[in-house]
Amino acid sequence: MTTLQDKVPAGLDRKEAEVYRHLDPARLPKHIAIIMDGNGRWAKRRHLPRVAGHRAGVTAVRSTVETAARVGIHALTLYAFSEENWKKRPKSEVDFLMRLLSRYLKAEVPTLNKNNIRLEYIGRQHELPDDVQERMAWARQSTAQNTGTVLTLALNYSARSELVDAFRSMVNAASQNGGLEHLRIDEDTVGRHLYTCHLPDPDLVVRTSGEMRLSNFLLWQLAYAEIYVTPTLWPDFRGVHLLEAIAEYQKRERRYGGLNHGDSRAHAEPTKVTK
C-alpha cells in the first residue's frame, strides 16, 4: 500500500517533506524562474557590508537548486547578475561578485553532478572578465552530460538586451538566407532567437524580498507565468520556501486568457428562464 511517506523524494528535510506531501507531483511547474533579491538589506540589518549578503546568498542557491532537482523540476533559472548591476554597482562590489561566481562554480560542480543537474547561462557572457568566462565554460562542460534539472544562471542579463540581440540575430539569419525581403517575424521566430530557446517558458516566477516588479527579467517569456512574491530576503530563502511557492502555484487556475471551467460551462449553457 502506498503511503504519504512513499511519495516524498529522497533527500528532503523534515520541513520540505511536510510541504511536499501536500503537493500534486503531476502538476509541478516545469520551469521556475527566481529573482533573487535582498542580499544588501539582509546585510544591512545585521550591520554587515553588502558583500556579506552576497556571500550568504550562495547558501540559498545551494539549498534551492538541490531541492528543485530532488522534486523533479525540469528547469530552474536564477537571476544572478543583471546588466544594470554591471553598469551601476561600485566596481569593488562587481569585482567581488565575479570572484564569488568563480568560487561558486568551482565548488558546486561536484554537487551539480551528484544531483544530475546541467548548468547553462543566459546574458551577454562575452562582456564578463576572461577568467570568469573560462570558469563558466569549464563548469558547463563538466555538467553537460547530466539529464536532470537544467540550472540556468542569468549573468549580465537584461530582458531588453535579449530582445535586441534576438532581433539582430533574426536580421543576420535572413541576410544569409535570401535577403531581408524574406524575413518573416512571428512569435515562434522570436522564440527561436531568444537566449532561452532551449527552455520552455517559465510557469512560475518567484520574487524574494517583497518587491513587486520584474526588474527587466525574462519579459517575453513571463507573459503568462504565475507570480509569487515572498517577503523573505534571498539569503534566508531555502528549499522549503521554493516548495511553498509551488504549493501556492498549484492553488491557481491557469487560463492563458481563456475562461475557467465554470465560466466556460456558463457561457456554453445559458440559464433557462422559466415563465
Question: The C-alpha cell of 177 is what?
Answer: 538566407
Residue 269 CB-density burial (10 A; 0-12 exposed, 13-18 middle, 19+ buried):
exposed
CA torsion 225→66→251→34, rounded to 10°? Answer: -30
What's the first-to-final CA gap in the chain, in angstroms?
55
**DSSP assignment letter at 75:** E
Annotated active-site residue 130? The verdict is no
Sheet containing 204-207: order of strands: 118-122, 150-157, 75-82, 31-35, 204-207, 226-229
Which residue's C-alpha cell is 518587491?
211
How many Cα atoms within 13 Å fall on the side-chain side of residue 109? 16
Task: Spot the catalytic one: 85, 113, 165, 236.
Answer: 85
Tell me how far apart the alpha carbons of residues 156 and 85 are, in angstroms, rounded to a whole number: 8
**DSSP assignment letter at 199:** S
Annotated active-site residue 146? The verdict is no
Task: Spot the catalytic one: 37, 39, 146, 203.
Answer: 37
Tell me how far apart the alpha carbons of residues 28 and 239 are, in angstroms, rounded to a whole number: 15
Rg of the chain taking only CA atoms, in angstroms: 21
Q: Where in the sequence numbering do the catalytic residues fall?
A: 37, 85
